[in-house]
Amino acid sequence: MSGPGTIGWFARHEARLAWRDWMSLLTAGRRRRIRVVALGFMGFAVFMHGLAYLMFGSAAHLADPPDATTLLVITGALAAGWSLMLSQALESVTRAFYARGDLELILTSPAAAARLFAVRIAAMAMTIVIMALLLAAPFINVLVWFGGARWLGAYAAAVALAMDATAAAVVVTIALFHAIGPRRTRGISQILAAVIGAGFAIAMQIGAILSFGTIPNIPAPRMASALVGAPDGNSPLWWPARAVLGEPLALAALLVLSLAALVATIAVFAPRFGQLALAASGAPPSVPRPGRRRSRFRASSPAWALRHKEWTLLARDPWLMSQTLMQLLYLLPAALLLWRNFQGGGASALVVPILIVAAGQLGGGLAWLAVSGEDAPDLIASAPVPAARVFRAKTEAVVGGIVVIFAPFIAMLAIATPFAALITLAFIMIAAASATAIQYWFRTQGRRCLFRRRQTSSRIATFAEALSSTFWAGTGALAAAGTWLAVVPGVIVLMVLAVAWMISPARSPAVA
Amino acid sequence: MGHIATTSGGDFSLCAIERPELALETRDLGKRFERPAVEGLDLTVHAGEFYTLLGPNGAGKTTTLRMVTGLLKPDRGTISVFGIDALTDPIGARRIMAWVSDEPMIYEKLTPLEYLAFVAGLWAVDSDTAAARARDLLSWLGLTPNADERCERLSKGMRQKVALAGALVHDPKLIILDEPLTGLDAASSRVVKEVLRDRIRDGCSVIMTTHILDVAERMADRIGVMADGKLIADGTLDDLRRQAGSGHASLEDTFLALVARDAAAA
């Protein structure tokens, strides 16, 4: 047993906290859910193995030695995976910097804080390794089953890449910290994390659209032209791909270099991590720019006051704004498709449901902020405004925000097909209003900084929200196509909403 | 203040004539969570009165006040605020009430002035009146230099003062405060107390919970003591001393004697 203040002691402390955090994330604090979560994991594993079989079942047998195309494809897949790991690592490092938590306790204690931060950086790497293995394992298992034991190298390669991603994330965050200061680093690094995470997939989609004029099911870069500029087969650039294929030398080199990168990062930055984190958590909030002084007091209704408040709060929180609007990144390919096809009406069939789904999801996020993320719930509840009016005002705030955000897309669609644009606008509003209603029925008060974890408060609400936006998208797409079949998904989504309402806690309010 | 909650003895008609308007009256108020939080509470606060509710942690003070403000639905009983049934007409009751909790209910990203404009909007206060009141309140509370600064940059004391200004901007007849002095420095605490005294002079009624017994002793017209969800004593300081049999003891000694007696009886 290691004594207090040692690395082992800190590691046990961190492991306990991490375990409880994970359990709380998975079970939302309800121990009875553990069995359901375990079953869910098993179902997910079976599904992922099936998916991996469909995708790679017949591609596991490769030429030995591998040709340039194989190496390029594997390298591309690793780059995509690594970008996701880096994104997650950036998130973790930023969280570690800005969550005040126990920093002051640790830094004012006689224990060597550097040890704790060494453990914390290692724990971040471990978390990313686990996540990477969870997602990659089904694919690797299928490849091993059908292609032989050589593919086991992919497990070690995933571990190595996760260590690299953690080291890179620490370096990037600290570089940002020094370059732009603690105040701006938080927002920028989280935006960076989201952009890196989404960027690769979006770039592939946009590349494919520009090449072929449609969104492909599987990204199909122009292999031949890519191979022209690719390095020769002995280049270290292919080492990760060769490591995945089980080549011992490449695998050993990748593991040793990755481990060295992580250890060096820990050795260099762990002793400074505490002071930097403390500086970050003590960074003063943004100073508002001096703007026009105008009277804030105007003849207004309570509903106007509520709407205005929601929009002001959202506009003034760049982190929340980035988190909510990040979903719009996924609309870029759709916008590009619209732009390329704006003279014809062919794109609308694809774009209408995408816009409606995005509006539903974005509406859910905004609704959570407006309803569950209310900073002064008691003030609103003790105001002489009926609950129904508060709900209506908040719904209007959410729907209004969504309409403003989606206006450019609607305008572009209107140039191509005005009827489809009108239908899309209507269903965007309906989807956003439905998401708000679901959030209202299942509301559980939470701080706005917990926005990213809002799904854990109610799985039913999350599920209902996803179903609602999906079926409204189907209804909108069919309505835009002018078919009465639109009634079918329309009825289904109304049933989903009815069931959600019936099982929601809102039916038995504890608060007057 | 000289208000007398006379129900005992004397001429009935005289009593009816002299009986002051009631700011708050609860009858048989009850709320149960895992165990009873408030049991059969009969509480009376007169108009223009500063009433302080004391009690050990978990006595049911906050639950009581949250029920009065409509934040919590009682399991049983009635609540009347200036004659308005707060359970059947909650909006009417809220219109004349203000609630200040120990944790300031403000928005980090709004400035104090914007916050007051928002609260005024919720209570549908005329914009000119609200602007004038906000200006006065901010000046009074020493917040004018911070009027256009976002609340996230303000200290805890300043935030509490902003919350108090929000409670006063719609000119309530009944102000309910739950531990409003918690965490305030001496200067902020004094300002808050002065503001409350001033509102009392203007005819407003105040109900406040606090653990700072000196404040209760100096400010309250009447004091209620709760324990285990029940009102175990109620009246002026002298009334409490008589009930506790504590002679000329301080409120602290009197309070502790009352709570100890109740615990022993239980």
Q: Tell me what pLDDT residue B223 has.
A: 95
Contacts of B72 in chain A (CB under 8 A): 510-512
pLDDT in tens, A181-191: 877 787 777 77
The SS3 assignment for B124 reads coil
Indicate yes or no: CB of A511 within 8 angstroms of CB of B72.
Answer: yes
Asked if the C-beta of A376 comes within 8 angstroms of chain B's C-beta atoms, the answer is yes
- Provide the β-strand partners of residue A89: none
Assess whether pLDDT exceeds 70 at residue A202.
Answer: no
DSSP string, A447-485: -GGGGGGGGGT-HHHHHHHHHHHHHHHHHHHHHHTT-GG
Backbone φ, ψ for residue A215 (5° rounding): -85, 115
pLDDT in tens, B235-262: 999 999 998 887 888 889 999 999 998 8
pTM over 0.90: no
Question: Any residues with CB less than 8 A from the CB of A418 and at least 6 apart, and which?
Answer: none
The 10 Å Cβ neighbour count of residue B242 is 14
Sign of CA pseudo-dihedral B124, B126, B127, B130? negative
Return d(Cα A1, Cα A8) in angstroms, integer.
8
Chain centroid to Cα A227, Å, comes to 32
Mean pLDDT of A155-179: 91
pLDDT in tens, A24-74: 777 766 667 777 778 888 888 888 888 888 877 776 666 667 777 778 878
Q: Tell me what pLDDT residue A40 has.
A: 82
pLDDT in tens, A214-253: 444 444 455 555 555 667 767 788 888 888 888 889 999 9
Give the containing element (helix H, strand E) for B22: strand B22-32
Assess whether pLDDT exceeds 50 at residue A91.
Answer: yes
Indicate yes or no: CB of A297 within 8 angstroms of CB of B148.
Answer: no
Backbone φ, ψ for residue A350 (5° rounding): -85, -40
Chosen for mutation from B109, B128, B137, B173 (greatest number of chain A CBs closer than 10 Å) is B109
Q: B216: distance to nearest CA of chain A, Å?
A: 25
Assess whether pLDDT exceeds 50 at residue A333.
Answer: yes
Show the tokens assigned to A398.
């959410």
ipTM, two decimals, is 0.74
pLDDT in tens, B56-96: 998 999 999 999 998 888 999 999 999 999 999 988 999 99
Contacts of A300 in chain B (CB under 8 A): 121, 127
Residue of A nearest to B166 (CA): A379
Return d(Cα A327, Cα A355) in angstroms, integer.
11
Mean pLDDT of B158-178: 92
Q: Tell me what pLDDT residue A511 has.
A: 40
Backbone φ, ψ for residue A373 (5° rounding): -85, 15
**Tokens 């959410």 label which residue?**
A398
Asked if the C-beta of B118 comes within 8 angstroms of chain A's C-beta atoms, the answer is yes
Most confident listed range (A322-331, A405-414, B165-174): B165-174
Mean pLDDT of A195-207: 66
Return d(Cα B101, Cα B104) in angstroms, integer.
6
Chain centroid to Cα A322, Å, comes to 11
- Quote the crossing angle between the two packed helices A302-315 and A318-325, to the nearest 10°: 90
Return d(Cα A76, Cα A168) in angstroms, integer.
19
Indicate yes or no: CB of B91 within 8 angstroms of CB of A510.
Answer: no
From residue A158, alpha-carbon distances to A142, A154, A207, A245, A445 in Å are 16, 6, 26, 12, 38
Assess whether pLDDT exceeds 70 at residue B10.
Answer: no
Which is more confidently placed, A111 or A491? A491
Q: Residues of chain B with pLDDT > 90: what percent?
A: 51
Confidence class for position A330, pLDDT limits 50, 70, 90: low
Return d(Cα A420, Cα A345) in angstroms, integer.
9
Assess whether pLDDT exceeds 50 at residue A360.
Answer: yes
Q: Tell me what pLDDT residue B132 has.
A: 93
